[in-house]
Structure 1
Amino acid sequence: MERKLRSYVEPGSVRWAMRRAQWGVFGINEEDMEKPKIAIVNTSSNLAACFAHLDGIAAKMKEEIRAAGGLPFEVRTAAPSDAVTSMGRKGGYILPARDLIVNDVEVAVEGAMLDGMICLVSCDKTVPGLLMAAARLNIPTIVVACGYQPSGQYRGEHIDFEDLWLNAVKQQNGKRVYSVEELSEMSKNAILGPGVCAGMGTANTMHIVCEALGMALPGSTPVLANSQKMWDTVGLAAKRIVQMVWDDLKPRDILVPEAFANAVKVVLAISGSINAVKHLQALAREAQMDVDIYGMFERFADEIPLLSAVRPNGEHTIEQFEAAGGAQAVLKQLESFLHTDTITVSGRTIKENLHGIAISDEEVIRPVNRAFVNRPSIVLIRGSLAPDTGIVKLAVTDDRQLQFSGPAIVFNSADEAIEGVHKGLIKPGHVVVVRGLGPKGAPGMGFLSNFVFALNGASLGDKVAVVTDGQQSGLSNMSLAVNEVSPEAAEGGPIGLVEDGDTIVIDVEKRFVNLEVPESELELRRSRLNGAPAMEEHGWLSIYQRLVRPLPETGGILFK
């Protein structure tokens, strides 16, 4: 016997009559009122290519859900793009948009008491935002990754969005000057269709994380946007979500500590974006799981070998990674390291999903005994300059020195630091400190990627180190940089006490970053501070600035 749906209202009641009248406009009849009511959460937007195809996917999903015996309702959320939405407030809207998405979904789906969700995810913040919403609402949910964009060629050579970004920064910094016409030609060819950036940036990393967690259908990530494989997943997800509602399989049945451990191991194995660390911690908090994601990355770092090398971490493309077997192939190669008895949205365990899986190309996704390297690609470090944590990202063939000591040169914004490059203030041997970019200080976490690219454009990328309480794009992987230092400057962290000329010592292998200044001197500097920075923001960013919690504690979500 089918269970009573949470959306059920007694026929003839006031609530029933009100819904019947409102929904009748859409052709919904009395028989439909008895069906599972499924939210299609659509992060569509005309602001960026990432989201350009989602309306078409939502329309097809509606058809498929109706055919499967469900009643679909499309709802919308914010859709931030790092490439476009980062222009306002110096990029401050990007991370807070993740939390806004969660609240958007809660208002629409919980307010209407719908029975399940299909979450259409694209550019990177939509993925953790919708995962977090699923964990908060805890109703049957499937995440559908809507794919990466096709890239093109520029004068016979491969070009994608990352290449365009790098070349534009080089031109701006005089490393290699391109004409406006050349950059325009690159721009026309870097993105040939909708979808997320074609590299192992935050978006593709988080798509793969969805599958590793068990929240996406097996074999669905990564995927070329608008490919037949993507459309096949749409149909399968529509059928499956209706059955999940009847089975009452919920996100918190799936998002158990073992599933988080699996996801962390996969991120390490693919050299994924460091942004996955804070997103997974935020997801764990929404799932009400007492899980220390930062501790997991530290614990598993030396255990998990690096099995893939997708740009910008190596030479392979995301297309090659997908053709080699994608997330399922990585999980198969890692099977002996995983908790394979965890349940997934398919209704089967990881072990059952991996039965019979073959890897198409073991040069692209390698077996454990023939890994690219056996050192971690994501390294969490601590020390007197980062008492809680800092994160270093290493490329597959990284030949940077992992120890660095030098005098600090301090900047209080990314723009100020970029100007320091242009004016020649930054010299070889400097440890460049860029602060005030944390969740509370920015607010919303400032991006440092353009500054790091500017260093490279000035031939300083391998001659200096960087320490910041800000973040980098998942597509950037240059310079020895200690990112997301916590506590941040705005929370009274030691990074706010650094002065020009102070000695900073970084040792990635020994996992520390230290400020070589006597404690007595630091206390004197603390006494000179005038307290917390004034809250000058307004609107959504002022709310975020007042309520955001430190990254290692909550992943940067809003908790009193």
Structure 2
Amino acid sequence: MAVMEEIKMVDLRSNFSPSSALGIARRAEWRPLGIRADELHKPKVAIVNSSSDLAACFAHLDDIVPVLKKELRALGVLPFEIRTAAPSDFITSVGRGGSYILSARDLMVNDVEVAVEGAQLDAIIALSSCDKTTPAHLMAAGRLNVPTVIIPCGYQHSGMAEGREADVEEIFLQAAMAAVTKEPTDHLQEMADDAILSPGVCAGLATANSMHIAAEALGMAVPGAAPVRANSERMWDNVRRSAAALVDMIQRDIRPRDIITAASIRNAVRAMLAVGGSTTTIKHLQAVAVEAHVDVDVWEAFRTLGRSTPVLCSVRPNGTTLTEQFEDAGGAATILRELMPLLEGDALTITGHTMAENATAAAPADGDVIRTIDTPYSTDPAIVVLRGTLAPDGSVAKRPVPDSGTKQFTGPARVFDSREQAIAGISDGRLQPGDVAVIRGIGAVGGPALGFTSSFIFALNARGLADKVAFVTDGQFSGLVNQGITIGEVSPEGIADGPLGRVRDGDEIAIDLAAGSLDLHVPADEVAARDVYVRPESADAGGGYLDQYRELVQPLSCGTVLGCRACGLCEGHHTAPLPAAVGGGVTA
């Protein structure tokens, strides 16, 4: 490819007259960085590095930056590394009940905006790694609408891939179970030493790898980018191809909103359904759509497209296939090729080619690790979006692949205001087989940032109740959980005075995964006459970023973005605004 100096350039917003105050100031600031005066006219690119020493997920990103800078300079652009927050689900989930995890996603978007818009840089190339970084980078791309490329930076080499006992997901599951059963953990401490053998994100198909695949399915990453082993030759090849793609985007003036459209969002939904990705991809893709000004209901897309999208692979935690095997079988590129009859193939990608054109270069399905659409693992969706009188705006369940479990459950509600209360309800006998456990008040506002409920699910499993008690919550649970009937992210959340907030002990709740329904069998007038739900005071509430987040966060139906974007989803969709006394200062 020709370097940038040899091809016709579009106007660049980063360029100022050399004699202007801004032009002179930039010359003064950048000369010590080794940038010559005759280079100041070149496109200026932000390398977004969401790195941190806190977790293995990010440990290799700093090594990618100098290589990427060299590639970009050789192509005729000026790269500038910028930094953002970098949350890790395993590390920064301790404080405030895990509320800093999801909320950090939007903090990263703002970090990128401050640097890119403040300096009026021309483009973005983002090193995406752990769970919240990829959606944050995609959201920033949609918001700022400058040429942007996402680089999925790969998954870690796990002990399980070496034939050992565990990867980090298995350690997490077993340690969480042991915390409930009070069993010794000495053997787990030894297993933990062998669980992670290299930098990179979690090896299974949890949120990180799911969002890497979603980025490729959106057309925002180079073909064949995901999943990929961290620090492998394929990853380095992706880095080089991504640099070339970004320069081409700048020259052609291709922007994220040309790529992130209703069609590409639906393609990404199909991809997530086909691989049985993380349930968290729903709210992340909705947030990306909102930031890119795309009026599409991602929740409804998952709900409707799930009925016609076959499941083509069964990667851990859905099944036994390792991500390494999935990558070697063709990964996302092969999934997209096999799905092409169901996709909107004319969707544009960062390569300047359409999704259909890119798919012709992908390997066909091997029929084993990746199935064809005619011989899938399952025609039942692994991600099930439910709506009904208890969840007018949606809720989600994760199912194993293939799914042989029960799909209907009806029982009396047992209502709790925290995970701890619910776990105690198992021990004291309040929760019995046939019940529907309800934990509310821990949604986007109530949590804030969607409290985790995995510990309660593990407690159910440890007591042999996972298949005997259904579970409904406005919080979230780990993507590793796909046992029993577990319904999360109920919207409107309890604190928004939705139906969940007015459920009482003994109310009958009916769940039908096949029909995609979640209903409260109580007359509507009786529900309306009940008192508004008031969230109990939290012992660790008050002060700082999370209070700001609570004031600004929008409902799940809007992807929990901060502040209303007038995205077109609100009219006739939200059942109730948030009460001003509990974070409703900005209503949808």
Q: Output the TM-score relative to the length of structure 2.
A: 0.91
Aligned-pair CA distance for 1:277: 0.7
Distance 1:523 1:240 in 2: 55
Aligned-pair CA distance for 1:170: 2.2
CA contact (8 A) 2:310 2:376 kept: yes
- How is 1:44-63 mapped onto 2 (pairs within 5 angstroms)? 44-63=51-70
Aligned-pair CA distance for 1:555: 4.1
Q: Could you tell me which residue of structure 2 aligns to residue 434 of structure 1?
A: 439
Aligned-pair CA distance for 1:475: 2.3
Distance 1:354 1:213 in 2: 13
Q: Return the match for 1:208 from 203, 208, 213.
A: 213
CA contact (8 A) 1:452 1:479 kept: no
- How is 1:22-421 mapped onto 2 (pairs within 5 angstroms)? 22-153=29-160, 157-174=164-181, 177-180=183-186, 182-359=187-364, 361-421=366-426
CA contact (8 A) 1:490 1:532 kept: no
Aligned-pair CA distance for 1:344: 0.7
Deviation by residue 1:115-160 (Cα, 9 ceiling, x = unmatched): 1110111111111111000111100000000111111159964411
Aligned-pair CA distance for 1:454: 2.1
Distance 1:210 1:493 in 2: 33
CA contact (8 A) 1:212 1:327 kept: yes
Aligned CA RMSD, in angstroms, stands at 1.9
Q: Could you tell me which residue of structure 1 aligns to residue 506 of structure 2?
A: 501
Aligned-pair CA distance for 1:557: 3.7
Distance 1:136 1:21 in 2: 30
Distance 1:531 1:462 in 2: 29
CA contact (8 A) 2:164 2:194 kept: no
Q: Could you say if the C-alpha distance between residues 120 and 374 of structure 1 is closer, same or farther in structure 2, counting changes exceeding 3 Å?
A: same
Q: Could you tell me which residue of structure 1 aligns to residue 463 of structure 2?
A: 458
Q: Which amino acid aligns with 1:233?
A: N
Q: Could you say if the C-alpha distance between residues 386 and 248 of structure 1 is closer, same or farther in structure 2, counting changes exceeding 3 Å?
A: same
CA contact (8 A) 1:427 1:464 kept: yes
Q: Could you tell me which residue of structure 2 aligns to residue 479 of structure 1?
A: 484
Distance 1:154 1:340 in 2: 35
Aligned-pair CA distance for 1:554: 4.0
CA contact (8 A) 2:138 2:150 kept: yes
Aligned-pair CA distance for 1:424: 4.6
Q: Which amino acid aligns with 2:549?
A: Y
CA contact (8 A) 1:38 1:118 kept: yes
Aligned-pair CA distance for 1:74: 0.2
Q: Which amino acid aligns with 1:252?
A: R
Deviation by residue 1:248-283 (Cα, 9 ceiling, x = unmatched): 111011111111111111111111111111111111
Q: Could you tell me which residue of structure 2 aligns to residue 448 of structure 1?
A: 453
Distance 1:383 1:149 in 2: 40
Asked if 1:539 is matched to 2:544, the reply is yes
CA contact (8 A) 1:282 1:557 kept: no
Q: Where in structure 2 are there 5+ consecutive unaligned residues?
A: 1-7, 565-585
Q: Which amino acid aligns with 2:106?
A: D
Distance 1:537 1:295 in 2: 35
Q: Which amino acid aligns with 1:499?
A: R
SS at match of 2:93: helix
Deviation by residue 1:494-536 (Cα, 9 ceiling, x = unmatched): 1112222222121112222222233344234226x56998995
Q: Could you say if the C-alpha distance between residues 251 and 155 of structure 1 is closer, same or farther in structure 2, counting changes exceeding 3 Å?
A: closer
SS at match of 1:243: helix
CA contact (8 A) 1:323 1:360 kept: no
More divergent stretch after superposition (38-47 vs 503-512): 503-512
Asked if 1:12 is matched to 2:19, the reply is yes
Q: Could you tell me which residue of structure 2 aligns to residue 523 of structure 1?
A: 528
Distance 2:528 2:243 in 1: 60
Deviation by residue 1:169-196 (Cα, 9 ceiling, x = unmatched): 2222228x3442x111111111111111
Distance 2:328 2:386 in 1: 35
Q: Where in structure 1 are there 5+ consecutive unaligned residues?
A: none
Q: Output the TM-score relative to the length of structure 1.
A: 0.96
Distance 2:397 2:72 in 1: 43
Distance 2:69 2:309 in 1: 41
Q: Which amino acid aligns with 1:199?
A: G
Distance 2:361 2:138 in 1: 28
Aligned-pair CA distance for 1:96: 1.2
Q: How many residues align?
A: 557
Deviation by residue 1:375-405 (Cα, 9 ceiling, x = unmatched): 1111111222112211111111223211111
CA contact (8 A) 1:173 1:458 kept: no
